[in-house]
Amino acid sequence: MVKFILVDDDNNELEHIKGLLNEIVEDDKEICCFSKVTPELKQEIKNTDNRKVYVLDIELGNSKVSGINIAKLIRATDWESEIIFITNHDKMFESVHRSIYEVFDFIEKFHDFDKRFKKDIREILKRNFDNKMFVYKANNVDLTLYYKYILYIYREKEERKLVIVTNNNSYRVNMSIKEILTLLDDRFKQCHRSCIVNVNRVEEFNYKEGYFVLDTGIKIYMLSKKHKNEVCNE
């Protein structure tokens, strides 16, 4: 699923962009609209568990926060989502900011907007993303997570549920280690009787001390020599 985050203080513009997206992307999408920076938007930016495309108006009316400021917030935690700026500014402005925030495109509001916007979205959707996902549906729980954002999975001692840990959140599912392994791909290895790790997200395995270090810098003491061959033969 692709999540489109639209930020524009003009409701007519928001509706127009939503209409264009509905023409281009028929299904498997979610569109969220904001007219200014809100706690909900900040929370959305912090949550990097979904593939996202941000469409940001650079000038947000009387707001003290511009699209550039929002791009700063996004890039503080997320360098994978695409950013499209809607702007009235000249090419000099574009050349200065495109590289800083890895912006996909700057589109002028009143110059072939629809054509350029549709072209950009189609190009973004064609990109080779790692879109493999973990899907879990049970007991009114509907959970979908990109594999690449899952750091590790461990079993709780008290409730005996599995906890899936991502960059920003944790999710509990009523499954066993054996069951969940059948739903994951080969980047996930059992490294402890109570733990599965995404080996693509590990920077160091220390079997002597019994821990692994994630690319987030977090050290997890759930590494067993018993499962060393499983991890090393990835």
Domains of the chain: 2-126 (3.40.50.2300), 133-232 (2.40.50.1020)
Give the Cα-Cα-Cα angle 218, 134, 4 (nearest 5 degrees).
90
Mean pLDDT of 15-34: 91
Mean pLDDT of 13-35: 91
CA distance 163 to 10: 41
Residue 16: name the closest of 27, 36, 31 by CA.
31
Q: Which of 9-18, 35-44, 58-67, 188-197 has the lowest mean pLDDT?
A: 58-67
* Average pLDDT of the chain, as a whole number: 87
Inform me whether the pLDDT recorded for 160 exceeds 90: no
Q: Provide the pLDDT for residue 142.
A: 80
Tell me the β-bridge partners of 107: 86
- 8 A C-beta contact, residue 55 and residue 7: yes
Q: What is the pTM of this model?
A: 0.61
> 114 in helix, strand or coil?
helix
- 8 A C-beta contact, residue 148 and residue 210: no
- 8 A C-beta contact, residue 148 and residue 130: yes
Per residue in 100-153, pLDDT tens?
678 888 898 877 899 999 999 998 988 756 667 888 888 777 888 888 889 999
